[in-house]
Structure 1
């Protein structure tokens, strides 16, 4: 018998469990266990156990294994429960239930077949509509491309005709063109005053042009 004090100072009596276990030398030695009503040891009174910090991948793996375990156990419980119900039933009731299950299965299979046929029919109709739209889109693209080519050819022909109408200096009329250029020289020089009047030509004099005949950029 051992007398110990609790945290609040009250005296309690605890019985020390002494078990005799054999040792290596075949001698009995006492093994003293902590009494059930004794308080927490002072060395462990304010100790907070540290939670193990596991890596994220290991945590996910443990969670996955737990989910698999719980799912399998639930499946086993449901299976055993159904088996127990089947074993509890016997005679005509069991045969009637089995027949009802077969009829329900056949009905569901037929419903599934009809639904598959309906889905296949809708799929064929959708494919037909999509093929028709694709054909119309291709035809429209080809027509548009042909129109663009025709427009390009038309503009190209107009450009060629316009270029043909522009006088071109050839070997036959090069001497005549040189003579005309010498007789009629073109002066591209011009000057602009502060009022916006333009005086073309390098040798042009302001006094020789009347105010009425002067060219102005903006009014």
Structure 2
């Protein structure tokens, strides 16, 4: 393990010294040609094989532990450094006056943008309301026209009925003419028991006395 870490350290130094910063390094785990690709899985002959545990010499284990502790210490130091640095920057940004000014400027910009949006929405709303009002007016006019046409039609029908009834009312007997109509009916009895021959002559009933011109031709 120690040899691998030393070789990686040497390789990283050589790459950083001889290659540009834009060079990409792709690590592979099957560098040797006879090695099987990693995506083909475990061979059937090695499924139940338990490899022996690698025995690391004590000196190498101590060196690995020392390097690991050194790595953790350096990483912790770097983390604390950046934490302290960004805390100082955040403390400077947390100044009350600065925050108040930023808040006021941000609020003013938001209010200005909100006023612009409101003005735009007002114009669109007024235009939409005008269109809707025009549609409502046109619809009301059409409904009123239809209502007037129906009312005029009903009025014409009523006038036609009144006109027909007036024509029929000429033969009606008014209360003032009732006595005269009764006397006329009594003076001129009518026998509805009559017949018509093939020539269209009216033949009155045998109980009714013949009247003048009663047997006149009724041909149409």
Higher RCO (CA 8 Å, separation ≥ 6 residues)? 2
TM-score by length of 2: 0.36
| Larger strand percent | 1
Question: Highest CA radius of gyration, 1 or 2?
Answer: 2
| Larger helix percent | 2
